[in-house]
C-alpha cells in the first residue's frame, strides 16, 4: 500500500493501541477499516477452542476492509502485537471510495472478498 497522503491523514481518526489490546473480535459488527501507521497487528481466528494466528500485519497495511465491503461481522480477531498507531476509516468514508469504483472493479473486489471469507471460514470454530 502506498504511503498515506497528507490530505487523507487530516480526515482520518488516529488511535493508539497498547500491546495485546483487542482492536476488534471475531463476530463484531463492522465499523471501521484500519491502516497501520506504526507497530503491528496479529489477525487470529478461533480454531477448535484454540486460537489460530492467520497473519501478522505491519506498517502501511490495511485490515478490516472486507467486513465493511460485505457488511458482514468480523471473520477474525485483530490484536495489537506491540504499541500500534492506527488510522481509522469509517464505513461512510469506505463506501464513498467504493462507490467511485467502476462496476467491473466492484465486481472484482467483491469476488476477491468472497474468496477470502471462504478461506477464512475453513479455519473452523
Nine cell digits for residue 95:
463506501
CA gap 110, 98 in Å, rounded: 11
**Residues of the domain holding 61:** 6-121
Q: What is the pTM of this model?
A: 0.80
Answer yes or no: is 15 within a domain: yes
Answer yes or no: is 105 within a domain: yes
pLDDT at position 5: 61
pLDDT at position 3: 59
Query: What percentage of the chain exceeds 70 in pLDDT?
Result: 87
pLDDT at position 95: 81
Answer yes or no: is 1 within a domain: no
CA gap 79, 52 in Å, rounded: 13
At residue 124, the 3 state secondary structure works out as: coil
Other CB atoms within a 10 A radius of the CB of residue 67 amount to 24
CA distances from 92 to 7, 83, 99, 111 (A): 17, 27, 10, 21
pLDDT at position 56: 97
**DSSP symbols for 65-86:** HHHHHHTPPPSSEEEESSSEEE
Answer yes or no: is 112 within a domain: yes
pLDDT digits (tens, 9 = 90+) for 20-40: 999 999 999 999 999 999 999
Domain count, the chain: 1
Answer yes or no: is 39 within a domain: yes
Instruction: Average the pLDDT over 51-64 and give the result.
Output: 92
CA gap 34, 76 in Å, rounded: 14
pLDDT at position 25: 95
| Domain harbouring 93, CATH code | 2.60.120.10
Mean pLDDT, all residues of the chain: 86
CA gap 26, 34 in Å, rounded: 15
pLDDT at position 91: 87
Most confident listed range (3-12, 18-27, 88-97): 18-27
Amino acid at each position: 500500500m502506498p504511503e498515506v497522503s497528507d490530505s487523507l491523514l487530516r480526515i482520518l481518526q488516529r488511535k493508539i493501541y497498547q500491546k495485546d489490546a483487542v482492536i476488534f473480535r471475531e463476530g463484531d459488527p463492522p465499523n471501521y477499516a484500519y491502516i497501520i501507521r506504526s507497530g503491528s497487528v496479529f489477525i487470529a481466528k478461533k480454531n477448535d477452542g484454540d486460537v489460530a494466528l492467520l497473519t501478522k500485519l505491519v506498517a502501511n497495511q490495511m485490515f478490516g476492509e472486507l467486513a465493511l465491503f460485505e457488511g458482514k461481522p468480523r471473520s477474525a480477531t485483530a490484536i495489537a502485537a506491540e504499541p500500534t498507531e492506527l488510522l481509522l476509516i469509517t464505513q461512510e468514508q469506505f463506501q464513498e471510495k467504493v462507490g467511485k469504483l467502476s462496476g467491473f472493479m466492484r465486481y472484482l473486489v467483491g469476488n476477491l472478498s468472497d474468496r477470502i471469507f471462504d478461506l477464512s471460514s475453513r479455519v473452523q470454530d
